[in-house]
Chains A and B, each alone.
Chain A
Amino acid sequence: MAPEPPLLTMSGITKSFPGVRALDGVDLEVLPGEVHCLLGQNGAGKSTLIKVLAGAHQPDDGTIGWRGESVVLRSPIAAMRLGIATIYQELDLVEGLSVAENVHLGHEPTAAGFVVRGKEARTATAALLRRLGHPEIDPARLVGDLSAAQQQIVSMARALSHDVRLIVMDEPSAALDPDEVDNLFRIVDGLTADGVAVVYISHRLEEIRRIGDRVTVLKDGRAVARNLPAKTTPTSEVVALMTGRNVEYVFPARPGHRDLPEPVLTVEGLTRRGEFAPLDLAVRPGEIVGLAGLVGSGRSEVLETIYGARKSTAGRVLVDGRPLRPGSVRAAVRAGLGLAPEERKAQALLMLESVTNNVSVSSMSRFSRGGWLDRGAEREAARGAVRELSLRPDDPAVPVRTLSGGNQQKAVLARWLLRGCKVLLLDEPTRGVDVGARAELYAVVRRLADEGLAVLLVSSEVPEVLGLADRVLVLREGRVVHTAPAAELDEHRVLDLVMEGTPAS
């Protein structure tokens, strides 16, 4: 590398959220015209770091240098004025506005201060789209009518409509097919040739090899390696950096060899077109089966389809040998399935309600006669479930929103425990749960399994799947690429399977 002065220097960036230290003294240096890759597992702090860079989060500590000067990024607008643009994974476009209107949102060319000069905006947008190699996108079309790939181009055009010197791209290839990825790379090359720097986030090592210049690896909120050469650092070294943990979770011991009963949950050729390929699996009472895969591999979709929250396009789900009606959550719940969903607050909890009401919501018929609730019995049952899982505080009358993440998860588990479910579907069970509380949650899940529950576990944290599950299925892009007892796999092997471009056989 030529001894160029860096464009961006972030040093000692620290950011805490209640109960979580998301960033712990992270340094990042980006040179003009380079593609700087950020690598790290989910929860390593990548998203938080780029939000600090975009001005969306204020760091608790640390400094940001921009072209040799110390700056404070008070807001997204402040970052944009300096020439920092961010393209988020979830595109932040307004579907009801046209391409040109989206590109100029917030800085419309105007006459007399407020009359939007539509034609000028469209002409400028057309020029940007040509520069991005997509002259076929009509600036007058509604963004909602465009494909995901085209929307991404619009997002990039919006970034370029500012005088931009640094573009942050958060997993830009996740929603793209191979041709579109090639085009994305051409655009990135064009940008860097103009001296624009790119911070590129991806899970796919092959992409980083193709377009990256240097790599910074994040793990547990720290930069564990900085400015590695992207093309030549061996895969094994990168994987080792990503996975070597400071914090070792304590997983409960696996029971030895057992003769388990016949499977309680059987999935045969279950398919959802566009999300995952035909899938077979079986879970026996007392067994924990894990699904490992990255975001977008179809993990959550598989669970939600088994549960009936999404309707399968083919295949079937059997509980105790009896097929479930597809697309019916109620049928699944009645048959004995319970789901602890990924987005606990949005999908599971009634945040305004007490723990009791949250726990009893799926088994109200047990505490009622002719629709009248026996609130004493309900409270007692909720208290029992809360005690059994050592949920704290152990007063079930407190509002569920006052609980910590781990205890909120326990409230969801208590709901299914009270219902007496046979199969527990766990989607990212420790997301938003403190490191310290995780071990306890793992122990609870193992104990429930020992008591005869069948558990199907999905997690993007590979060590969690390997540590907790008895058997592991590795998913990549909606396909099972490998199945093995958890004891026969290690983290490197699984990460190779989920990250490498071609499905391993």
Chain B
Amino acid sequence: MTQPVSPPRDGGEKLMAAPAATPWRAVTARADVRTLSLLGVLAALVLIGGITKPDEFLDTRNLQLVLTQASVIGVVTVGMTFVIISGGIDLSVGAIVALASVWATTVATQEYGFLGILFTAVIVGVGCGLVNGVLIAYGAMVPFIATLAMLASARGLALQITDGKTQVVTVDGILDLGERDSYVLGVPPLVLVFAAVTVAGWLVLNRTTFGRRTVAVGGNAEAARLAGIDVRRQRLYLYLLSGLCCGIAAFLLIVLSGSGQNTNGNLYELDAIAAAIIGGTLLSGGRGTIVGSVLGVLIFTTITNIFALNNLQTDVQQIAKGAIIVAAVLVQRRTARD
């Protein structure tokens, strides 16, 4: 851990270690330790960004860009977090985002205007989630397999719809949403949607019977069943929820890019899983937090941004991401043992 992965840049390494180490042992509550350490990592990244590219990184436009980029994958990650807490996995999120984004931007759909696009994106997402959920909950298929099949077919269908072409959006209402004029107090509308989904996700997970059942199913499905919970219906709802999040994310992506493409959402499944995992969600189910997942998303997006500003190629980014996942899991295992 003392050897930096990349060549040290004027003390950046020291800054990275310090905030993570100090609150580490001091705070007793385990969940707080985890959240604080994620916040510490994020703060360290912001410092690194501020030091290496002070003018560009801390520029308002850049910060708005980081948050906007985080919004699309962030909404997907909230849904994914629920699925993973329940002991499942959804590999099809990226493909669903792609399918929803192209279905909602066909010439025919665009004739129905803003609401037509929004409605189509959401319905396609929920529809794909329904298929996943039925196969997994009532068809007794392993989530990995069912959603892998959905990944393949949704991507295929997206390609068939677009024939590989970019579908440019001509609806003004959509395009306006991405414009600077529609920012609310400097916050892009996409980021507001992300914030709303995060708050809703937190409330559902922590304050509703739905959230409690999700945790119970993931923690011990047999015990949940014998306690009288309808485990299958819960599983169905969870994949519907993930599909819904993908539909919303697809709409955000349409606004962001002003188009729909069949290559949208590429590898979102891996980014969302990685963000949830470093946020402290157990891949085996039964434990996880929305706050952790969202911090995970912000950490990854910030890294990408800093690397891009410093002209480092994507290959270096990928290596750094991999290292962060491993480090986060190792650290979590140590806290879990205490």
Q: Is A294 an interface residue, CB under 8 A from the partner?
A: no
A337-374, CB under 8 A of B: which get 1 and which 0?
A: 00101000011111111000100011011001001110
Q: Which residue of A lies closest to B230 (CB)?
A: A330
Stretch at the interface among B10-18, B193-201, B214-222: B214-222
Q: In the complex, are the beta carbons of B224 and A372 less than 8 A apart?
A: no
Q: Which of B60-68, B90-98, B205-213, B291-299 forms part of the interface with chain A?
A: B205-213
- CB neighbours (8 Å) of B230 from chain A are 330
| A369: min CB distance to chain B, Å | 10
For B215, the chain A residues whose CB sits under 8 A away are: 350, 352-353, 357
Given contacts A361-B212, A361-B224, A371-B208, contact A350 B286 (CB under 8 A): yes
Q: How far is the CA of A415 from the CA of B216 in the complex (A)?
A: 14
With a CB–CB cut-off of 8 A, which chain B residues contact A309? 225-226
CA distance A456 to B208 in the complex (A): 34
A330 and B229 alpha carbons, distance in the complex (Å): 7
Q: Which of A347, A348, A357, A375 contacts B207 (CB 8 A)?
A: A375
Q: How far is the CA of A350 from the CA of B286 in the complex (A)?
A: 8
Q: Which residues of A contact B226 (CB under 8 A)?
A: 307, 309, 329, 339, 341, 347-348
Point out the residues of chain A lying under 8 angstroms from B287, CB to CB. 352
A142 nearest CB across to chain B (Å): 21
- CB neighbours (8 Å) of A49 from chain B are none
B219 with A361: CB separation less than 8 A = no
CB distance from A182 to the nearest CB of B (A): 38
Judged by a CB distance under 8 angstroms, whether A333 is at the interface is yes
Q: How far is the CA of A348 from the CA of B215 in the complex (A)?
A: 14
- Are B208 and A350 interface neighbours, CB within 8 A? no
Number of chain A residues whose Cβ lies closer than 8 Å to a Cβ of chain B: 28
The interface residues of chain B lying within 8 Å CB-to-CB of A371 are 208-210
Q: Which residues of B contact A364 (CB under 8 A)?
A: 209, 212-213
Contact A373-B228, Cβ < 8 Å, known A347-B222, A349-B223, A353-B215? no
User: What residues of chain B lie closer than 8 Å to A346, measured between beta carbons?
Assistant: 220, 222-223
CB of A351 within 8 A of CB of B220, answer: yes
Instruction: Give Cα A352–Cα B224 distance, bound, in whole angstroms.
Output: 13
Do A351 and B228 have beta carbons less than 8 Å apart? Answer: no
Q: How far is the CA of A350 from the CA of B223 in the complex (A)?
A: 7
Determine if B227 and A362 form an interchain contact, defined as CB atoms under 8 angstroms apart.
yes
* Distance, CA A97 to CA B226, complexed state (A): 33
In the bound assembly, the distance between CA atoms of A351 and B336 in angstroms comes to 14
Given contacts A350-B215, A361-B216, A361-B229, contact A368 B223 (CB under 8 A): no
**Within the complex, what minimum Cβ distance (angstroms) separates B218 from chain A?**
9
Residue of B nearest to A363 (CB): B228
Please give, as numbers and ranges, the residues of chain A lying within 8 Å of B225 by CB-CB distance: 309, 329
> Within residues 263 to 301 of chain A, which ones have a CB less than 8 A from any CB in chain B?
none
> How far is A365 from B208 in the complex, measured between Cα atoms in Å?
10
Q: Is the CB of A329 within 8 A of B219?
A: no
Q: Which residues of B contact A415 (CB under 8 A)?
A: 227
Interface residues of A (CB under 8 A from B): 307, 309, 329-330, 332-334, 339, 341, 346-353, 357, 361-362, 364-365, 368, 371-373, 375, 415
Known: A309-B225, A348-B227. 8 other contacts (CB 8 A): A307-B226, A329-B226, A350-B223, A351-B219, A352-B219, A365-B209, A368-B208, A372-B209
A-B interface, 4 closest residue pairs, ranked by CB to CB distance from nearest: A333-B228, A350-B219, A364-B209, A362-B227
**Interface CB pairs A-B, < 8 A, 20:** A329-B228, A341-B226, A346-B222, A347-B222, A347-B226, A348-B223, A350-B219, A350-B224, A351-B219, A351-B220, A352-B215, A353-B219, A364-B209, A364-B213, A365-B209, A371-B209, A372-B207, A372-B208, A373-B212, A375-B207
